[in-house]
Structure 1
Amino acid sequence: MANLLSSTFVFCLFYICSASPPNFVLFFADDLGFGDLGCYGHPSSLTPHLDRLAAGGLRFTDFYCTSPVCSPSRASLLTGRYQTRSGVFPGVFYPGSIGGLPLNETTIAEVLKPLGYATATVGKWHLGYGANGKFLPTKQGFDQYLGIPYSHDQGPCHNLTCFPPDIKCFGLCDIGVVTVPLVHNDNIKQQPVNFLDLERAYIDFATDFIITSAKNKQPFFLYYPSHHTHYPQYAGTGAAGRSLRGPFGDALFEFDSTIGNLMATLEKVGVINNTLIFFTADNGPELMRMSRGGNSGPLKCGKGTTYEGGMREPAIAYWQGVIEPGVTHELASTLDIFPTIANLAGAKLPPVILDGFDMTNLLLRKGKSQREAMMFYPTDPNEKSGLFALRWGKYKAHFYTRGATHSATTPDPDCPGIAVLKAHNPPLIFDLEADPSERYPLPLEERPDIQAVLAQIEKVKAQFEATMVFGESQISKGVNPNLEPCCSPECSPKPSCCHC
């Protein structure tokens, strides 16, 4: 009988008919490729818990982030708006960045707070630190925070331990700045961070947050942007040496184990049936690291590029007893998570232009996605050039192409940084269903059907760009070394004295 229930009725049974609003757990991996997970076809990845989520939930094949690098992608996820609107461009924030995600932007946490939600984030923030921590999560709607406020390679790591018993981190990372700190709420708890114990600290923090929220019968939103599997990879004693993929695989396995631990906690406290769990990633793999950098599967290039490998991501939505297991080929994006959570919680949307679409019908009723198009901006967008590419339905048009240092070392000459900017007029058009690797541009001559596709893409592009007002660039505000987080702010000489 249960198998015959429609997903709509099941949704009513577990949510609409329940007095308890839903909880939300959002996992966000770092530099993870479309081909990196076992459930997406990697033969040697050890990801049993993510595979379980995929088997019991909805796995996306056509899901996109909004930028091929970290900070802009994270801004779009939390605001439901392209990074060009919030000004989180070009590139990423650094320890001493003056700017950050503008405080007048509304995050998912901020729309949930008026409804009584407990909110917490744990892991990689990377949306600015600023003077006196003015851009930290606790200023953006989150009650609690534990994590590194930017990328964990944005500090010297050559003498730090990344794997037990004392295997040093691979590479030098950024030098001439403070070592990466572990921040609890607004205060530096540890500097430099201990990578071997970091994931344990994150699990304990997230577990306590879930247990406390459930005990208080308070709905909650947990945002878990992991550092895994970004360079330099690290893992503690429970994961080191466990995978067949070396350091990258061990780091991925550690994050997968974290997901398993938190799933067990949700089950233990009895809220698993009332919790939407969503997993995806910020951008594609850093191919320049070779086997340490991830895998984009059949997709072209990776991090830093607007090819599919740079911005198409694995994504899984899981809600036990509510979301029917399966695979969807519908078009969706990180932009769509904000309005979806808002709708499910009954939250009021902010009075701004949103670029996301509510996925409730897609998730709960296997309906169609409201998203018809996906826009592709480069790492350094500007109003003159506009979009680099646009996907409409199954077709993708490249108006500009360019490689990236992040995608070096591959045999494809279009991927590395030496592949300079090229304008395409008419644009290169690909059928992504027949050719997800973007190898075979479709001819326009004697193809009125493709000419009609191009006309529609041009129309969609013009309509979208007419609504796009670029915000003031936050990253172009520059860097002030005095803003780098230091646990002993009066010490000397900096940055080496920042140690506690």
Structure 2
Amino acid sequence: MKHVCLGLLFFTACLHSLCAALPNFVLLFADDLGFGDLGCFGHPVSLTPNLDRLAAGGLRFTDFYSTSPVCSPSRASLLTGRYQTRSGIYPGVLYPGSIGGLPLNETTIAEVLKPMGYATAAIGKWHLGFGAKGKFLPTKQGFDHYLGIPYSHDMGPCWNLTCFPPDVKCFGLCDAGTVLVPLMHNEIIKQQPANFLELEKAYSDFATDFISTSAQKKQPFFLYYPSHHTHYPQYAGVDAAGKSLRGPYGDALLEFDNTIGNLMKTLEKTGVINNTLVFFTSDNGPELMRMSRGGSAGLLKCGKGTTYEGGMREPAIAYWPGTIRPGVTHEMASTLDILPTFANLAGAKLPQVTLDGVDMTSLLVNRGKSERNTMMFYPTDPNEMYGLFALRMGKYKAHFYTRGATHSGTTPDKDCPVFAVLKAHDPPLLFDLETDPSENYPLPLIGRPDLKAVLEKIQKVKAQLEATMVFGESQVDKGTDPSLAPCCNPECQQKPKCCQC
């Protein structure tokens, strides 16, 4: 009823030419940023003054989750409010020549908001497919404007390491058939190879211009900024390089923070700051195999690629002056919940599909209880035979399977690297995440009928959730076709050397 009433309220407002009263949304999505990487989440030397200000003036989440410990699936869930298993963005991630992508019949946040008159724009890392003739680009998924790299910035020749210090030289045939990383404007390649030292300024200018234009038109807007920072290999322009105490990782994080500062200044300058919800989080945990250049999960266990807390629990901040009171919440929430929340606040209709997200409005505005009491943990390669690897219900988390990952190598914890092979647990490992967020101490079940009752309830919830999960056709398993990789000189057969604009 509340959703209907809010929709009628905004509809009436629009009839009186007050559509500008609709809230604006700025969604900031970091890349491979861990729970312990921000100053406001406890890192001792991270230089993130703008994010720290958002945290001080907004609501900071301690129990916020992505849906996958790797990039493409987590982005699909964020934009659709549905687990990646439903949309088919699994196993692993999409590549420049991937045949598949986020299915066009999936409804994104942008497509939910556009019928309400929203201007929509995306900048940065898309990573939900390029496809034949760019069929999966953001402009095909509800975004009016796009400036960015359509996949991960390390997916160039030699994993793009030649673009960044230390200069890793290529040997053999590792460059063969791999196009240089392109910068795209809408559906056109603007630059190839992308100039990474000037990339963040281009994003900042594009985003601030979009905000200013929308504000001038008194048109509500949705800006989605999935940053390349702080994914390895890190880079930073002249305003951030060498300016932090954390080396390349800290410099990249600082540059990302600087752009956020520019966006906030633009919101203030245009007078729309008090009518704008700014939401920040990350796609998955840190790539610990990169050591000091891979980020930090803080006190959480393991990182990217795993279903331990370090792989999927993320820093998150919601900022809306005058609407969201400053503070900290320990309520459970997820990237899945962003679509239904934005839809409710804008009075927009929800997609007529199974949604896994819940509305966070009461949590954000009234500091109420979260409607989310469970969180499912799928591995990077989910399938119906194994089902969930873990499930959190309330403060308890049960692991049915555990496995390490290459991304989480190099740590002293023997459970994190790829050598920690798949292991089934019967009974499941049970943790109390309030007293043991590091998942170090499985709770003993012998002589604890109360915990056995908890586990039985978790098993029942797991069975109910899995019974409703319909796996979509895998888009990643459709394979790759090198000819699909975006190149501004597609006739060239000596890639990547002649694939330049």
TM-score calculated relative to the size of structure 2 = 0.94
Q: CA deviation at 1:495?
A: 3.3
Match of 1:85 in 2: 86
Match of 1:397 in 2: 398
Match of 1:100 in 2: 101
- Aligned pairs for 1:13-28 within 5 A: 20-28=21-29
Q: Which amino acid aligns with 2:380?
A: T
**1:190 aligned to 2:195?**
no
Q: CA deviation at 1:179?
A: 1.1
Q: Describe the shift of the 1:431–1:236 C-alpha distance in structure 2 as closer, same or farther (beyond 3 A).
A: same
How far apart are the structure 2 equivalents of 1:193 and 1:183? 9
Q: Describe the shift of the 1:225–1:171 C-alpha distance in structure 2 as closer, same or farther (beyond 3 A).
A: farther
How far apart are the structure 2 equivalents of 1:397 and 1:159? 39
Match of 2:410 in 1: 409
- Aligned pairs for 1:199-210 within 5 A: 199-210=200-211
Find the residue that maps to 2:280 and give its secondary structure. Answer: strand
Find the residue that maps to 2:29 and give its secondary structure. Answer: strand
Q: CA deviation at 1:284?
A: 0.1
Match of 2:455 in 1: 454
Q: Which amino acid aligns with 1:205?
A: F
Match of 1:6 in 2: none
- Aligned pairs for 1:153-232 within 5 A: 153-156=154-157, 160-162=162-164, 167=165, 175-176=175-176, 177-232=178-233
**1:32 aligned to 2:64?**
no
Match of 2:298 in 1: 297
Q: Describe the shift of the 1:187–1:286 C-alpha distance in structure 2 as closer, same or farther (beyond 3 A).
A: same
Match of 2:420 in 1: 419
Tell me if structure 1 keeps the 8 A contact 2:360–2:371: yes
Q: CA deviation at 1:234?
A: 0.2
Tell me if structure 2 keeps the 8 A contact 1:68–1:304: yes
Tell me if structure 2 keeps the 8 A contact 1:169–1:234: no
Tell me if structure 1 keeps the 8 A contact 2:88–2:471: yes
Match of 1:116 in 2: 117
Tell me if structure 2 keeps the 8 A contact 1:161–1:196: no
Match of 2:326 in 1: 325
Tell me if structure 1 keeps the 8 A contact 2:35–2:296: yes
Percentage of matched positions with identical amino acids:
78
How far apart are the structure 2 equivalents of 1:155 and 1:26? 27
Q: CA deviation at 1:494?
A: 2.6
Q: CA deviation at 1:172?
A: 6.6
Q: Describe the shift of the 1:38–1:189 C-alpha distance in structure 2 as closer, same or farther (beyond 3 A).
A: same
Match of 2:266 in 1: 265
How far apart are the structure 2 equivalents of 1:150 and 1:306? 23
User: Cα deviation per residue 1:286-323 (whole Å; 9 max; x = unaligned)?
Assistant: 00000000000000000000000000000000001110
Over 6 Å off, 4+ runs: 170-174
Tell me if structure 2 keeps the 8 A contact 1:21–1:219: yes
How far apart are the structure 2 equivalents of 1:119 and 1:183? 16
Question: Between Structure 1 and Structure 2, how many residues are aligned?
Answer: 483
Q: CA deviation at 1:490?
A: 1.2
How far apart are the structure 1 equivalents of 2:236 and 2:205? 16
User: Cα deviation per residue 1:148-206 (whole Å; 9 max; x = unaligned)?
Assistant: 000000012667544xxxx4556879844111100100000011111100000000100
How far apart are the structure 1 equivalents of 2:113 and 2:363? 22
Find the residue that maps to 2:258 and give its secondary structure. Answer: helix
Q: Which amino acid aligns with 2:263?
A: L
Match of 1:281 in 2: 282
Match of 2:378 in 1: 377
User: Cα deviation per residue 1:382-413 (whole Å; 9 max; x = unaligned)?
Assistant: 00100000000000000000000000000000
Match of 1:488 in 2: 489
How far apart are the structure 1 equivalents of 2:354 and 2:167? 43
Q: CA deviation at 1:376?
A: 0.1
Match of 2:471 in 1: 470
Tell me if structure 2 keeps the 8 A contact 1:286–1:303: yes
- Structure 2 regions of 5+ residues with no counterpart? 1-9
Match of 1:234 in 2: 235
Aligned alpha-carbon RMSD (Å)? 1.7
Q: CA deviation at 1:491?
A: 1.8
How far apart are the structure 2 equivalents of 1:438 and 1:172? 41
Tell me if structure 2 keeps the 8 A contact 1:158–1:172: no
How far apart are the structure 2 equivalents of 1:159 and 1:23? 38
User: Cα deviation per residue 1:94-114 (whole Å; 9 max; x = unaligned)?
Assistant: 000000000000000001111
User: Cα deviation per residue 1:429-479 (whole Å; 9 max; x = unaligned)?
Assistant: 000000000010001111011001101101110110110000000000000
- Structure 1 regions of 5+ residues with no counterpart? 1-13
